Structure 1
Amino acid sequence: MLHHHRISVNGITMHVAEQGEGPLIVLLHGFPESWYSWRHQFQPLADAGYRVVAPDMRGYGETDRPAEVDQYTILHLVGDVVGLIHALGENHAVVVGHDWGAMVAWNTALLRPDVVRGVVGVSVPPLPRGPVPPLVDTRERFGADFYQNYFQLPGVADAELSKDVASTFRKTFARVPASQPPTGDGEPGFLDRSAEPDTLPGWLTESDLATFVDQFTASGFTGGLNWYRNLDRNWELTAAWQDAPIAPPALYISGELDIVRSFYALDDHAKMIVPNLRAVVDVPGCGHWTQQERPAEVNNALLDFVRTL
């Protein structure tokens, strides 16, 4: 049975959902998500003999949301994961992340390989530190209106996403392209490129949608957006790990239709920094919300991987 509790970690209080007993697996969500994004993983992993823990990450859900933007650097996020593992009474864990959570998982394995038995990135591959700050790179490659650059303006995306939280999630999860370009004054927002879907995707129920809406109505979006507002700061903070290998055993899972593949590719450079990449799993016909869209395939891949550790 799923158990919810709170743990003091790294100067904040984290809300976690937990099920099962055995070797620890920590599941890290992305943006805009929560522990609930892993709802399909708890039972199968627990039934297989694992202790499964999914936190609301810093800035999300029922976990603390520090006000200062600089409290959301990659060092804080990795520190939260390491602190959580130790607060749970464990010395190490398999760390699994989706979307932004994958970036945290890869960096946890990079910075603290001693506490990571294995690392799994879902959607976002390992990203070598580039020659220029990330937001400079995205501006040059995709333009100043690329969503990561748009998210930098304090209060702007926060207000847009919070205006109608249910519509935000319907558009974000369904990703139906708008038939007409945005019109009106000012620059287009994050949601302007998506149309309101007629129906929810088959993998998302009205109850699922209501859960996310309730969570983000209570928490707002600023905490999650602050992760993006530290992208260039993270680049500065991780200079000492330029080209350093991610040593623990690794798995990468990606949806064949995931839009992330258009700007973050698992190329030869990325593979070089993960010398123990044991498998790459492409999920046919799957979009970005991998573990929610195709839980059976993701669960099978996770179990195949963790059983080898």
Structure 2
Amino acid sequence: MTPQHRHLHVNGITMHVAEQGEGPLVLLLHGFPESWYSWRHQIPAIAEAGYHVVAPDQRGYCATDAPSAVDQYTIMHLVGDVVALIDALGEKNAVVVGHDWGAPIAWCTAQLRPDLVRGVVGLSLPPARRGPVPPLVAAREEHGDDFYVLHFQEPGFAESWLGKDLATTFRGVFTGTEATDHEAAPSIDRDVTPGSVSAAKPSWITDADLAVIVDQYATKGFAGGLNWYRNIDRNWELMAPWQDALITPPALYVVGDRDNVRTFCRIPTLERMRALAPALRDVIEVPDCGHWTQQERPNEVNDAIVSFLRQLPPA
């Protein structure tokens, strides 16, 4: 059986979802630059375990609407989309799983609406406290002006830079976070197309997979996903009322041992994570795994998620 596809009206936009299975709801939230397809290995496995699995293209991505205004991509819009999606699916709650950018959306949904979240799983990015200064200020001080997040703030540049050659871009993006040098934060050379230095395709993605991803991005491009980055400081302002608010639902954190996000995002200790998420059940380090966790090591990720789901109280 393969996932079924449909569109739902969610929080003022039309959202594309892929879904499979019956049972308690599990939402899978992708990161950048990805789509529902990044969960292709998880959807059937979790459905077979007895769950209704739904993986949306999130706001701005692929087959989901992409509002033109940058300020339509704040954390409140993105969490609001998750809340509205649960309702549109006719459910009262869900387990929310997120990878990369999807992880902070999952953590924040659990923080802001614990009444709707039976459990939360973050891949790559851990639960994190709101910092004392705007994130872009901190990023510039720590990583310098060539840090990729800072270049992403310029409307038009990153869209063009990433869109020059989609196949080469995705080969480069998916390879770039497999580096063994955990000390290096990703930077941008504006004169070099992503992936043009090393255009080798990573072993965990097939030619057919790459073709699907390129096709998904061929029409809409990267603007919607990049607008998430352009709200980073605005999100910091909006989250001020929830400073130090706890993430109370049962939680799991999964990270690859070769994920370079471990260093440049300064992943906190288990004790610090549990101070923010006191119901954190476990931290699972996936061996020989870079940043694209669920695509690189699907069996290990599937086992971790299903095991966590089975430990939760009945829906």
TM-score normalised over the length of structure 2? 0.92
**Residues 186-215 of structure 1, C-alpha deviation per residue, up to 9 Å, x if partnerless?**
x82396675544532111000100111111
Q: Is the 8 A contact 1:102 1:120 kept in 2?
A: yes
C-alpha distance after superposition, 1:151-179 (max 9, x if no partner): 0011111110011111110100112899x
Query: CA 1:213–1:194 in structure 2 vs 1: closer, same or farther (change >3 Å)?
Result: closer
CA gap 1:158/1:51 in 2 versus in 1, 3 angstroms:
same
The residue aligned with 1:159 is: 160
> Partner residue of 1:181?
none
Is structure 2 residue 298 aligned with structure 1 residue 295? Answer: yes
Give identity over the alignment, percent: 61
Matched, 1:111 2:112: yes
Q: 2:268 aligns with which of 250, 266, 269?
A: 266
Change in CA separation of 1:128 and 1:225 when aligned onto 2, cut-off 3 Å = same
Give, in whole Å, the separation in 1 of the partners of 2:119 and 2:191: 34
Separation of aligned partners in 1, 2:305 and 2:66: 30
**Which amino acid in structure 2 is aligned with residue 297 of structure 1?**
E
Give me the whole-angstrom Cα distance separating, in 2, the residues matched to 1:197 and 1:50.
40
Letter in 2 for 1:293: E
Alignment of 1:1-309 (within 5 A): 1-175=2-176, 188-189=189-190, 194-197=195-198, 199-264=200-265, 265-267=267-269, 268-309=271-312
Report the CA distance between 1:255 and its aligned residue.
0.2
Q: Cα deviation per residue 1:117-157 (whole Å; 9 max; x = unaligned)?
A: 00000000011100001111111110111111110011111
Corresponding residue for 1:182? none
Separation in 1, partners of 2:46, 2:160 = 37
Distance 1:198 1:78, change over 3 A: closer
One-letter identity of the residue aligned with 1:266: P
Aligned equivalents of 2:26 and 2:268: distance in 1? Answer: 24
Instruction: Quote the offset at 1:8 in angstroms.
Output: 0.1
For 1:85, give the aligned amino acid. Answer: I
Amino acid at match of 1:27: L
Q: Which runs of 5+ in 2 are unaligned?
A: 180-187
CA change 1:91–1:177 in 2 (3 A) is closer
Cα pair distance change 1:228/1:110, threshold 3 Å: same
Q: CA deviation at 1:270?
A: 3.3
SS in 1 for 2:189: coil
Q: How many residues align?
A: 301
Change (3 A) 1:171 1:284: same
**Structure 1 Cα separation of the partners of residues 259 and 190 of structure 2:** 21
Q: For residues 177 and 80 of structure 1, do their structure 2 counterparts lie closer, same or farther at Cα, with a shift above 3 Å needed?
A: closer
SS at 1:189 equivalent:
coil
- How far apart, CA to CA, are the structure 1 residues paired with 2:197 and 2:302? 30
Q: Secondary structure of 1:124's match?
A: coil
Could you tell me how far 1:271 is from its partner in structure 2?
A: 3.0
**TM-score after normalising by structure 1:** 0.94
Runs of 4+ in structure 1 off by over 4 angstroms are: 190-196
- The 8 Å contact of residues 177 and 290 in structure 2, kept in 1 or not, is answered as no
SS of match in other structure, 2:119:
strand
Query: What's the RMSD between the two structures over aligned residues?
Result: 1.6
Partner of 1:307: helix, strand, or coil? helix
